[in-house]
């Protein structure tokens, strides 16, 4: 069964109903674009309007293929030679389609950037364009060289080392400025430790996490 179809109807709604029937999916799970709109009543044959649409089923498979093409186009535009692969763990949870893309590059780290900034930029753009095409509810995860897992492991180890230092010295310990995702990793790594508390401090998207011995803790919660 194809996931993309072109269909004609007397109205968009009528064309969508036909596409829904042919694709075997509910209309709510279709995205579409109008290809042609013709008003034939002016020639006096009483046929009224004709609408032609291209409809696509919103499934993990179609979202994955679309986001893969988008990422590939972005890489080509940047002059980066790489291959994009779809990982098998795509799924739908709470009506959100999760797709995992892996960029196979030359291993130079160019695709990652400082603290993953370049990789995050690609992920942001792919999510923005894909969600525009599919009317939202898509979460595209972009990785290369297993960077995200390694980054999470390194941050977790750092958090535990700095937590031990805070408890030993009984003084707050400040980490370097981190992105919201990295701060969340630190907070989650230490959330079960009853001897310390964590909170974010600073302005802008890059904030510092401060690890505070519990008896000194006060102020705003983690964020």
Structure confidence by residue, pLDDT tens digits, 12-59 = 888 888 888 888 888 877 887 788 888 755 555 555 678 888 888 888
More confident residue, 221 or 92: 92
Q: Report the share of the chain in percent with pLDDT over 90.
A: 53
- The Cα angle at residue 162 between residues 156 and 164, in degrees rounded to 5: 105
Instruction: Taking each helix axis as running N to C, give the angle between helix 60-77 and helix 117-133, from 0 to 180 degrees, rounded to the nearest 10.
Output: 130
**Statement: residue 217 has pLDDT above 50:** yes
> Tell me, what DSSP letter sits at residue 175?
P
Report the pLDDT averaged over residues 201-205.
Answer: 91
Structure-derived torsion over alpha carbons of residues 41, 45, 47, 53, reported in degrees to the nearest 10: -70
**Statement: residue 81 has pLDDT above 80:** yes
Residues ≥6 apart with Cβ < 8 Å to 46: none
pLDDT at 11: 85
Structure confidence by residue, pLDDT tens digits, 123-137 = 999 999 999 988 888
* Mean pLDDT score of the chain: 87
> Tell me, what DSSP letter sits at residue 207?
B
**Statement: residue 1 has pLDDT above 50:** no
Report the pLDDT averaged over residues 133-151.
Answer: 92
pLDDT at 139: 95
Structural domains present in the chain: 4-57 (no CATH), 60-145 (3.30.300.20), 148-216 (3.30.1370.50)
Structure confidence by residue, pLDDT tens digits, 82-122 = 999 999 877 888 789 999 999 998 877 788 998 899 999 99
Contact 25, 31 (CB under 8 A): no
Nearest to 211 by CA among 176, 180, 179: 176
What tokens appear for 49 in the block?
């309007």
């Amino acid at each position: 069964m194809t996931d993309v179809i072109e269909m004609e109807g007397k109205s968009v709604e009528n064309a969508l109903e036909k596409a829904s029937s042919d694709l075997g999916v509910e209309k709510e799970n279709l995205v579409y674009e109008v290809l042609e709109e013709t008003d034939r009543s002016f020639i006096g044959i009483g046929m009224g309007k004709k609408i032609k649409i291209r409809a696509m089923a919103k499934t993990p498979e179609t979202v994955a293929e679309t986001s893969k093409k988008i990422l590939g186009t972005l890489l080509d535009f940047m002059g980066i030679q790489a291959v994009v692969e779809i990982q098998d763990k795509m799924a739908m949870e709470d009506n959100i389609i999760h797709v995992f893309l892996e960029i196979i590059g030359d291993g130079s780290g160019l695709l990652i950037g400082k603290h993953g900034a370049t990789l995050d930029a690609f992920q942001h753009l792919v999510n923005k364009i894909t969600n525009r095409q599919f009317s939202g509810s898509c979460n595209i995860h972009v990785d290369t060289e297993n960077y995200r897992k390694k980054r999470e492991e390194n941050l977790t180890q750092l958090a535990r080392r700095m937590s031990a230092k805070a408890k030993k010295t009984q003084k707050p310990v400040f980490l370097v400025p981190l992105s919201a995702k990295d701060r969340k990793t630190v907070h989650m790594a230490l959330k079960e430790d009853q001897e310390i508390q964590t909170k974010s401090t600073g302005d802008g998207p890059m904030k510092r996490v401060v690890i505070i011995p519990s008896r000194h803790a006060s102020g705003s919660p983690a964020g």
